Amino acid sequence: MRIVVLCPSVYSETACAMAVRMAEFGHVPAGALALPTLDRGTLLRKLGQWGTQDVIRYASAKLTPHRGDGRAQVSNPYLQPLLKHGEGVFRSLRQVAKFYGFPIEVCSDQNAPDSIARLREWSPDLIIFTGGNILRKQLLDVPRLGVLNVHLGLLPEVRGMSSPEWSLLIHVPVGVTIHYIDAGIDTGPILQRCEFPDASRCESLSDLRNRLIAFGVEQVAEVVAGLDRGTISASPQSDLDEDHQFFVMHEWLQARAAERLTKRRSVAIVESVNG
Amino acid sequence: MTDSVAACGDNSRDNAITAQIAKALTEATGLLRRPQRVVPLIQRLVSDKLRVTFEQRHLYSYATTKRSSGDALNSLLRWILDAQRPDGGIAAYYGLLTGYSESYPEVTGYIVPTLYDCARTTGDDDAVVAVERATQWLLSLQMSMGAFPAGLHGGLHGDAKQPSVFNTGQILQGLVRAHVETNRPEILQAAVAAGDWLVRMQHADGSWSGPAAYQNVAHTYYSMVAWALAELSERAANRRHGCSDHEHSLSYGRPAERNLDWVLSHFRPGGWIDGINLRGHPNYLHFIAYALQGALECAILRRRSDAIEAVAKSSWVLLRKFETNKFLPGAFEPDFKNGQRFTCLTGNAQMSCVWLRLFEVTDDLRYLNAALKMNEMLKPLIPARGRRGIFGGVSGSYPIWGRYQPLRYLSWGNKFFADALLLEQRLTRSFAASAFEALPCAS
């Protein structure tokens, strides 16, 4: 199966881990298309998502040389086993591409005609989306099977943003959904929907997100294997009429979601102590 | 706003044009009379220009501020108290060109509940003194027929003034609350007289039109009047002697529902509300939000789930626009199309109130989420320093030269934003408490 990875930046750990995971079980990507790291749009997006302090911390971690066992070089520790490379870790998709021998292109817009033309040259069966632009129809039509997305919530219950946090607040199980992207927001046909079993072990919301991302990478690997064998097929979402879209969560509500996570953890600890 | 600040309730076109010219001249000569006003004017123009130029809005982010809701609420209250005129009424606005306007009966009326709530929350005794003075002034304005007059205070006197359905409804809100707080019989008497007049003026289809309605036509944003009647039915009328609760509920509750039904018949399937009907004005968010807020509050009081659903549908359209674009346009064309680039801050604050109340009645946290972000966006737009009239004021538009009430700080903007922050405080406290109780370890 010919796979292409779309990524928000060559420094995206998720994209690196996804490419490594695909390569590990014999599906070395046919190519990867990344957005530039230091352009205005990406920088503003990251500032909006993470805030100034986290962006500076992230940039300095990526741009300065490291020593040690590599653990400190990975911001998501649950991806570390996949990113481990010799004595260090893969720090960018360029390193992954060089190691496994696949081409990587950087473009300013994944929907631009040049980007679409390059994707067509790679003639993918499947595109795996790990971040970037909102994808337009021309791009969605390029792969034979479709464009896969890992959504950090169970569909169709929780569409849109801040899905793990919303799941905690509205009492929907925490999980991930692997689905094809269509014109709507998280409305495409579902390939796999998995509840996340370790939510009660998470220490914080960022810990939960990190674990879900790593869990999602493994689920994609399963889905790709299933598609390859022909044992998995997509099912359209059942209740498109209902509006299950959620938006970025305000920090006050995030704090309430974090409280729920902490309580779950406490309950789990008490239960394990009581046997 | 306000039937009258726009055109002072004039019936004929000529009079309206004359009023517009007079208004423009007054504004233009304001700076000549008080040249020192040029400094804050330029400051605000420059600060809004800079903010508009450099602010970034992204899908994954929202405006944040370090300013607390309590601090913002205190400055909003201070602005309202400063705007109280010697007669006891609250000024309609502070103009950067013209200074304070005269007292404005309509806003003085429906700011009463806000002042009582602020006094309770902040412990500010000045607010209690102010609200008692305001109520006394309102009682002095009531016409013999039970109505309250249109427009700003001044000019014609007594029954020579034009009675106004909308202003009477808005003032009725304040009278009902003042009676609940003080139990003074003369306030109840005034409220009942106002309610009776509104019922007499209502058409069989539930609408209000004719000389006592703005531009003589019926408007869906008069749902605010229906809300006032429903309040009268619910909270005060049962204290009137010689009448049973049931009879009072029928006296004012049924007319309120008749108007609610008329308003609901103007909701389009996509959520848009027809019948704003303001000739010469765009469909400002302020009036759309009025229609929604009045219908919602009336529906809650009359236990009308069909109306709550209709309001929720329209409010959801606006919520999606706000979440996607990070602001709500100041005016729309029908079906919420072609939103204009400026923001009507009053309308934003009103939508925050609507979303918070919808959260309260539906438990849908997305409404609370949007309202928290809306309040966060509004807080930094309230001047944290400046002279009287500017400090703590909510401007008509952002940027301040936007089309809705340009270069003015509005008393009704302060009222609605204070309401939104008060609601936010109450609902976040109760949600935090209930969420804690719901947790398995909380016991």
Q: Does A251 touch chain B (CB under 8 A)?
A: yes
User: Is A87 in the same domain as A219?
Assistant: no
pLDDT at B54 over 80: no
Q: What percent of chain B has pLDDT over 70?
A: 87
Minimal C-alpha gap between A170 and chain B (Å): 8
pLDDT at B25 over 70: yes
pLDDT at B104 over 70: yes
- Count of residues for chain B? 443
State both tokens at A29.
């990507």
Residue B129: pLDDT band with limits 50, 70, 90: very high
Best of A55, A253, A265, A266 to substitute, by most chain B Cβ atoms within 10 angstroms, is A253
Higher pLDDT: A200 or B145? It is: B145
B432–A170: do the CB atoms touch at under 8 Å? no
- Give the C-alpha separation, A13 to A79, whole Å: 8
pLDDT at B69 over 90: yes
Give the dihedral sign, CA B81/B82/B85/B87.
positive
Q: What is the pLDDT of residue A53?
A: 74
Give me the domain span that covers residue A201: 150-275
Taking residues B341-366, what's their average pLDDT?
Answer: 96
Q: What is the pLDDT of residue B159?
A: 53
B58–A161: do the CB atoms touch at under 8 Å? no
- Give the C-alpha separation, B81 to B75, whole Å: 10
At B77 the three-state DSSP class reads: helix
Answer for the pair B3, B167: CB distance below 8 angstroms, yes or no: yes
Taking residues A121-127, what's their average pLDDT?
Answer: 96
Q: What is the pLDDT of residue A74?
A: 81
B61–A170: do the CB atoms touch at under 8 Å? no
A256–B431: do the CB atoms touch at under 8 Å? yes
Q: What is the pLDDT of residue A50?
A: 66
Higher pLDDT: B66 or A43? It is: B66
Domain stops at, among A94, A124, A144:
A144
- Give the C-alpha separation, A32 to A19, whole Å: 9
Q: What is the pLDDT of residue B338?
A: 83
Q: Residues of chain B whose C-beta is under 8 A from some C-beta in A?
A: 56, 58-62, 64, 316, 320, 323, 365-366, 368-370, 372-373, 376, 428, 431-432, 435-436, 439-442
- Give the C-alpha separation, B256 to B91, whole Å: 29
As a whole number of Å, the end-to-end CA separation of chain B is 49
A246–B316: do the CB atoms touch at under 8 Å? no
pLDDT at A202 over 80: yes
CA A32 vs. chain centroid, Å, equals 15
For residue range B305-339, list pLDDT tens digits in order. Answer: 999 999 999 999 999 999 988 889 999 999 999 87
B58–A263: do the CB atoms touch at under 8 Å? no
Taking residues B29-35, what's their average pLDDT?
Answer: 77
User: Is A8 in the same domain as A81?
Assistant: yes
Q: What is the pLDDT of residue A66?
A: 55
A256–B435: do the CB atoms touch at under 8 Å? yes
Minimal C-alpha gap between B171 and chain A (Å): 36
Residue B116 makes CB contacts below 8 A (sequence gap 6+) with B127, B128, B131, B177, B178, B181
pLDDT at A142 over 80: yes
Q: How many CB atoms lie within 10 A of CB B440?
A: 10
Q: What is the pLDDT of residue B441?
A: 42
Task: Give residue for tokens 């680039």.
Answer: B341
Which chain B residues are closer than 8 Å to A44 by Cβ? Answer: 56, 58
Single out the residue of B138, B115, B140, B139 nearest to residue B128, CA to CA: B115
Number of domains into which chain A is organized:
2
The chain-wide mean pLDDT, for chain B, equals 88
Task: Give residue for tokens 């970037």.
Answer: A132
- Give the C-alpha separation, B93 to B107, whole Å: 10
Answer for the pair A183, A202: CB distance below 8 angstroms, yes or no: no
User: Is A60 in the same domain as A154?
Assistant: no
Residue A72: pLDDT band with limits 50, 70, 90: low
For residue range B366-408, list pLDDT tens digits in order. Answer: 999 999 999 999 999 999 988 899 999 999 999 999 989 988 9
Strands (DSSP E) found in B307-425: 331-332, 343-344, 397-398, 408-410
- Give the C-alpha separation, B164 to B10, whole Å: 12
User: Is A138 in the same domain as A2?
Assistant: yes
Q: Using CB atoms within 10 A of its CB, is residue B96 exposed (0-12), middle (13-18) or buried (19+)? A: buried
Domain boundaries, chain B: 74-438
Residue B239: pLDDT band with limits 50, 70, 90: low
Answer for the pair A37, A9: CB distance below 8 angstroms, yes or no: yes
User: Is A156 in the same domain as A206?
Assistant: yes
Q: What is the pLDDT of residue B9?
A: 43
Q: Does A268 touch chain B (CB under 8 A)?
A: no
Which range is least confidently modeled, A159-163, A220-224, A262-266? Answer: A262-266
Q: What is the pLDDT of residue B242?
A: 52
Residue B152: pLDDT band with limits 50, 70, 90: confident
CA distances (Å), origin B88, targets A158, A246, B129, B139, B166: 52, 46, 10, 11, 21
A200 secondary structure, DSSP code:
G
At B73 the three-state DSSP class reads: helix
User: Is A64 in the same domain as A108?
Assistant: yes
Which chain A residues are closer than 8 Å to B440 by Cβ? Answer: 263, 267
Q: Closest-CA residue in chain A for B317?
A: A243
User: Is A27 in the same domain as A123?
Assistant: yes
Q: Does A44 touch chain B (CB under 8 A)?
A: yes
CATH number for the B74-438 domain, one of 3.40.50.620, 3.40.630.30, 1.50.10.10, 2.60.120.10? 1.50.10.10
- Give the C-alpha separation, B166 to B216, whole Å: 12
User: Is A165 in the same domain as A97?
Assistant: no
Across the interface, of A44, A49, A267, the residue whose CB is closest to B56 is: A44
Which range is least confidently modeled, B6-10, B302-306, B351-355? Answer: B6-10
Chains A, B: CB contacts within 8 A come to 61
Which chain B residues are closer than 8 Å to A152 by Cβ? Answer: none
pLDDT at A65 over 70: no
User: Is A162 in the same domain as A188?
Assistant: yes
Residue A39: pLDDT band with limits 50, 70, 90: low
Minimal C-alpha gap between A35 and chain B (Å): 17
Domain stops at, among A116, A144, A172:
A144
Residue A69 makes CB contacts below 8 A (sequence gap 6+) with A87
Minimal C-alpha gap between A3 and chain B (Å): 28
Taking residues B346-370, what's their average pLDDT?
Answer: 97
Q: What is the pLDDT of residue B47?
A: 85
B60–A48: do the CB atoms touch at under 8 Å? yes
Q: What is the pLDDT of residue A151?
A: 97
Q: What is the pLDDT of residue B205?
A: 97
CA B378 vs. chain centroid, Å, equals 16
Which chain B residues are closer than 8 Å to A260 by Cβ? Answer: 435, 439
Best of B316, B322, B377, B439 to substitute, by most chain A Cβ atoms within 10 angstroms, is B439
Taking residues B264-270, what's their average pLDDT?
Answer: 96
Taking residues B100-124, what's their average pLDDT?
Answer: 95
Answer for the pair A167, A158: CB distance below 8 angstroms, yes or no: yes
Q: What is the pLDDT of residue B65?
A: 83
Residue B76 makes CB contacts below 8 A (sequence gap 6+) with B382, B392, B394, B414, B417, B418, B421
Taking residues B44-69, what's their average pLDDT?
Answer: 78
Residue B5: pLDDT band with limits 50, 70, 90: very low
Which chain A residues are closer than 8 Å to B321 by Cβ? Answer: none
Taking residues A215-238, what's their average pLDDT?
Answer: 94
Beta bridge partners of B410: B93
Minimal C-alpha gap between A74 and chain B (Å): 23
Taking residues A33-52, what's their average pLDDT?
Answer: 72
The CATH number given to whatever domain includes residue A240 is: 3.40.50.170
pLDDT at B241 over 60: no
Q: What is the pLDDT of residue B95?
A: 92
